[in-house]
Each structure stands twice: as C-alpha cells, then as structure tokens.
Amino acid sequence: MLILARRVGESIMIGDQVEISVVDIKGDQVKLGIKAPSQVKVYRREVYAAIQDENKAAAAARGVLPKLDDLLPPGSPAAPGTAPSRKPDEKK
C-alpha cells in the first residue's frame, strides 16, 4: 500500500486518467474529489462490497429458475427454432 500525505487542494494521479484531490479536511473526515473517465466506475468500498455480494447471489441462483424454452408450447412464436413472425422488409 502506498501512503501519501496531501494538503487541501493537492492531488495524486492514478495512471494518466484518474486524479484524486483533497477538497476539505474537518476533524477526522477528509473529502476527496475524483476525476475519472466515465467508463471508470468509482464506488465507496461498502457499496462495492454490496454490489459484489449481490452479483454472487445472482450467479448462485442461476439454476433455480426453470429453463424458459421448456415452458413454451412447441411451435409457439417464441419457441426455439421458430422463424420470426415479421416479414424480412419490416423494421424492428
């Protein structure tokens, strides 16, 4: 772990695109500003952990639901292997 000392208004760079700035310090609380490209997701640690837990639970539940193909009657428009009901020149 890299540990750096910064004052209000000072920043650090992570790679070429992520900048973290110290915005304010009050007592034991530090406010940080983060500049990052929109494709870089930035989360508080506890939110990130909750997202990971939800993803693991969803992945574990994959086998719980029945296969939808088995619930459709043969020949129904949505059944596997059935041709689309729209004409080729129709738009979606």
Rounded distance between C-alpha atoms, residue 33 and residue 42, angstroms: 11
- Asked if pLDDT for residue 92 goes beyond 60, the answer is no
Count of other CB atoms within 10 angstroms of residue 36? 14
> So what's the pLDDT on residue 63?
67
Domain-located, residue 92:
no
CB 39 within 8 A of CB 29: no
Say how many domains are in the chain.
1
DSSP 2-16: ------TT-EEEETT
- Asked if pLDDT for residue 56 goes beyond 80, the answer is yes
Domain-located, residue 26:
yes
- Asked if pLDDT for residue 52 goes beyond 60, the answer is yes
Domain-located, residue 6:
no
- Asked if pLDDT for residue 73 goes beyond 80, the answer is no
Domain-located, residue 54:
yes
> So what's the pLDDT on residue 89?
62
Specify the pTM: 0.60
The more confident residue out of 83 and 26 is 26
> So what's the pLDDT on residue 75?
72
Domain-located, residue 19:
yes
Domain with 47, as residue range(s), is 11-62
